[in-house]
Structure 1
Amino acid sequence: MTHANETHPVTSIVFAAGKGSRMRGYSGNKTLLPLISSAANPYEGDRPLLVEVLENLPPGPKGIVVHHRAEDVQEATAAYSCTYCFQPETNGTGGALLAALPFLESVGTEEVIITMGDVPLIRPETYRRLLRSLGQRHLAVLAFDPRDPAQYGKLEVEGDRVLRIVEWKYWHGEQDPERRARLNLCNAGVYGARRRPLLECLRELEKNPHVVEKERDGRWVQIREYFLTDLVEIMNRAGYSVGLCLADEEEVLGVDTPEALKRAQSIYAQRRASS
């Protein structure tokens, strides 16, 4: 596959802490699922999702946020000279980024990409467009226009500015026609950012956890989670500018289910055949 190529280094943070609870019959780290599968078992094969993500990112320091089967992730990515950031508990995407805070403070690059290890089909040129879309902005959200927007968070856009990200449970019943008109694009969960404003706003994010109920070991418990999507409003309140970059739906496919894995494997095979 084509490698990302930029003239200046970019820091990348990749979330790879997940267990993949919807992957029936699979107990490993889901970012290590294969893009090239064996005929008998889609969970076995070559080219882990995470390796494809690392190959397609621009050159520069890379931090991988780990939790479940962290040793397996380190072994699979040993050739990439990554820094591993341990997330003590799975407390949301914002918690994953907070786990990478010491790494983010230690690097010297101006630009940062935040992406997910189970979204392997984003092309190098899309990451480059995401960085270019920063322009005079401080944060850029990778957005897409899905055939079926159900369950996705939506970007509330005014002109060329992203005001906030609205979760599905809040936007799907929105009755105000003017506000609905601003809710057209969905959030891919991938971001480009300028490092110093990001660090400043991460400290604000850390002060504002959400208390949510989750099932853990067969019982419902209250936990404190941090939502990365909150960064958009935090940065706007701080006087920073948030924009977006549009991607194809196929590229931002998240591998969350066995069906999505087979779809990703099929797309990857088509790309290899045509390259």
Structure 2
Amino acid sequence: MDIALVILAAGKGTRMNSELPKVLHPIAHAPMLAHAMSAGAALDPVRTVVVAGHGADEVRAAVARIDERAEVVLQDEQHGTAHAVDMARATLEGFEGDIVVLFGDTPFLRPETLERMAAARQGSDLVVLGFEAADPGRYGRLVMDGDRLARIVEFKDATEAERALTFCNSGLMACDAATLFSLIAEVGNANASGEYYLTDVVALANARGLSVTAVTCDEAETLGINTRAELAAAEAAFQARARAELLETGVTMMAPETVYLALDTVIGRDAVIEPNVVFGPEVTVESGARIRAFSHLEGCHVSRGATVGPFARLRPGAELAEDVHIGNFVEIKNATIAEGAKVNHLSYIGDASVGEKSNIGAGTITCNYDGVFKHRTEIGANAFIGSDTLLVAPVRVGHNAMTATGTVVTKDIPDGAMAIGRTEQVNKPGFAVKMFEMLKARKAKQQKG
């Protein structure tokens, strides 16, 4: 059975007190909407429709970055969840398969839970996801009759007996597309809020004699984000879960609670992550690599046996081959560092390639930007770049070539050659003593005045 995801992301999120649409607030360097879409991807959907409202242009742009195949429809005015799902009706016209309804502000749903919902659809016409709440509060209640879900009642409309129930509604459901849209067409708004509740389709389905059931998940999976405090709590929950998963797969973290991961961070077995390391988006660290303390990585790839840091920064486009050494206070951006090469101290290597087993001395800078354009620096294999070298791109340093300390390189260096680009030193006997005497006399005169 083909599956289409309908993800509700139209809410303004007033309690976030932000101009940014609620679903675009980040958790682990990715919009919470991306988390929902990632979970839904486990069902291998043939269609994904995101229902946007507040900040629709921003949501549309974010969706395109997350999944260029996903479609965005607009809910100009918010009249409830059934109304929101109905906005996808025209886009999904003719679709023959199941619709799974998700929420863009519910980021922790596990793929396994969605797979259980899909499996339950084999025996039921409509499947709703519920959870046992430690504190049911104002959640909607699932009223069960054996395995049959009789109805969902919103807290505002519930009786005291119904409010005593602890089996609560997550809002997620799965149903055949034609059936779901047919049920939504019958939903009314005669309730305390005057809204069209998606939950009403349960009673309507039962009235038609359709089979309706509920699947249970852990309450933590249904966590919704409505405030900055809840966003911070969600970040902490994600990090705790992601760290635990890495430890389980064989990654060593000396102080796990100080390591911050992104949604898409990939780290191989037997890699070592020292304290206070931050992973931004799109980072892969292979098995056996070591990321030392206080390093920051984003958009980069670190190969087996490489060492990074401490206090290093890898920016987007940094590609480190096996056994590369990147040391303290080194920044690498849009550069490939070949096998066995070393950039160990206080250097910036940007828009560059460094050949195998080359050594980059302390204080080396690739001068890659002229104020308008970026230019590349190429350094061959087995090259030795002396400390405090400035490589003014575009420029090439040949294989087995060398630069003298303090050299400013403005021309290509042939293979095997040594470049010396600095002014000749001149010593002036006695000048330092005379200079200090003059300066001290001037200072004394100023103090008297």
Counterpart for residue 367 of structure 2: none
Structure number with greater CO (CA < 8 Å, separation at least 6) is 1
Q: Which residue of the other structure, out of 193, 209, 234, is the alignment partner of 2:189?
A: 209
Q: 1:161 & 1:55 partners in 2: Cα distance?
A: 30
Q: 2:163 & 2:22 partners in 1: Cα distance?
A: 35
Q: Which residue of the other structure, out of 38, 44, 62, is the alignment partner of 2:48?
A: 62
CA RMSD across the alignment? 1.8
Ranges in structure 1 where 5+ consecutive residues have no aligned partner: 1-7, 37-45, 214-223
Alignment of 1:112-261 (within 5 A): 112-171=99-158, 173-174=160-161, 183-205=165-187, 208-210=188-190, 225-261=195-231
Q: Which amino acid aligns with 1:59?
A: D
Cα offset, 1:119, TM superposition = 0.1
CA deviation digits over 1:6-31, x for unaligned, max 9? xx64110000001101113x121100
Q: 1:123 & 1:164 partners in 2: Cα distance?
A: 25
Counterpart for residue 25 of structure 2: 33
Q: Which residue of the other structure, out of 219, 225, 239, is the alignment partner of 1:269?
A: 239
Cα contact 2:33–2:105 (8 A) shared by 1: yes
Q: 1:124 & 1:97 partners in 2: Cα distance?
A: 21
Cα offset, 1:63, TM superposition = 0.4
Q: Which amino acid aligns with 1:47?
A: A
Spell out structure 1 runs of 4+ moving beyond 3 A.
Answer: 210-213
Cα contact 2:148–2:211 (8 A) shared by 1: yes
Counterpart for residue 220 of structure 1: none
State whether structure 2 residue 79 is matched by structure 1 residue 91.
yes
State whether structure 2 residue 38 is matched by structure 1 residue 52.
no
SS at match of 1:101: coil
Q: 2:226 & 2:241 partners in 1: Cα distance?
A: 21
Q: 2:104 & 2:112 partners in 1: Cα distance?
A: 18
Q: 1:11 & 1:254 partners in 2: Cα distance?
A: 22
Q: 1:146 & 1:199 partners in 2: Cα distance?
A: 29
TM-score, scaled relative to structure 2: 0.51
Cα contact 2:131–2:167 (8 A) shared by 1: yes
Q: Which amino acid aligns with 1:144?
A: F
Cα offset, 1:50, TM superposition = 0.4
Q: Which amino acid aligns with 1:23?
A: M
Q: 2:26 & 2:237 partners in 1: Cα distance?
A: 13
CA deviation digits over 1:144-203, x for unaligned, max 9? 0111001011011000001111121343622xxxx778x341000111112222122122
Evaluate the alpha carbon distance shift between residue 88 and residue 106 of structure 1 in structure 2; reply closer, same or farther with a 3 A threshold. Answer: farther
TM-score, scaled relative to structure 1: 0.82
Of Structure 1 and Structure 2, which has the larger fraction of its residues in helix? 1
Query: Rg: which structure is higher?
Result: 2
CA deviation digits over 1:34-88, x for unaligned, max 9? 102xxxxxxxxx2100011111112220000011000111111104111111112
Ranges in structure 2 where 5+ consecutive residues have no aligned partner: 246-449
Cα contact 1:32–1:49 (8 A) shared by 2: yes
Percent of matched pairs sharing the same residue: 32
Cα contact 1:105–1:199 (8 A) shared by 2: no
Q: Which amino acid aligns with 1:33?
A: H
Cα contact 2:144–2:150 (8 A) shared by 1: yes
Paired residues, number: 240
